[in-house]
């Protein structure tokens, strides 16, 4: 039996953006306390899923992430700026511990920079949206074309 695992954190697309979070003014951490987050556009994840079926090695895990090195607050800022929304208010980690629910705080405490060399080398994958900026720009275009 061949088992290939795709690890896909931060899946986004035109209909999977933190628009409501920004409208609610949900805070993010200030830059010096912020954590790195990893992202993959849903279209690229679909392509990687097909690639895993064709080229995935047995008992192997792959990071299905783009090339971005971005902190969580930076991601929210990109979406806010592109969609004309106010940026999320920023909190220190100490303020966040006092004001935010434990589940949200837990999410804001995980910081990993995942590398994607394995999908590029073994799957021969070329991402359509290699950086989160590319995917957010495409999401903007897609949402405005359908209006």
- 87: domain CATH number is 3.40.50.720
What whole-number distance in Å separates Cα of residue 133 and Cα of residue 135?
Answer: 6
Q: Tell me the whole-structure pTM to 2 decimals.
A: 0.90
Q: Are 33 and 92 in contact (CB under 8 A)?
A: yes
Q: What is the pLDDT of residue 146?
A: 54
Q: What is the pLDDT of residue 144?
A: 81
How many structural domains is the chain composed of? 1
Q: Running along the chain, 147 residues long, what does each successive block of 10 average in pLDDT? A: 89 96 95 94 98 93 96 97 97 92 83 91 96 96 73
Q: What is the pLDDT of residue 2?
A: 76
65-103 b/e with 16+ CB inside 10 Å = b?
bbebebbbbbbbbbbbeebebeebebbeeeebeeebeee
The boundaries of the domain holding residue 97 are 4-145
């Amino acid at each position: 039996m061949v088992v290939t695992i795709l690890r896909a954190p931060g899946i986004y697309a035109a209909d999977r953006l933190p628009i409501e979070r920004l409208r609610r003014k949900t805070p993010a951490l200030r830059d010096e306390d912020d954590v790195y987050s990893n992202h993959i556009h849903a279209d690229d994840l679909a392509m990687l899923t097909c690639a895993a079926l064709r080229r995935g090695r047995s008992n192997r895990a792959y990071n299905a992430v783009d090339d971005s090195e971005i902190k969580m607050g930076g991601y929210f800022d990109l979406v806010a700026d592109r969609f004309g929304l106010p940026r999320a208010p920023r909190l220190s980690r100490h303020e966040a511990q006092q004001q935010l629910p434990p589940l949200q705080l837990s999410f804001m405490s995980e910081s990993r920079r995942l590398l994607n060399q394995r999908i590029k080398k073994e799957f021969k994958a070329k991402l359509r949206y290699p950086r989160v900026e590319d995917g957010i720009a495409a999401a903007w275009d897609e949402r405005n074309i359908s209006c």
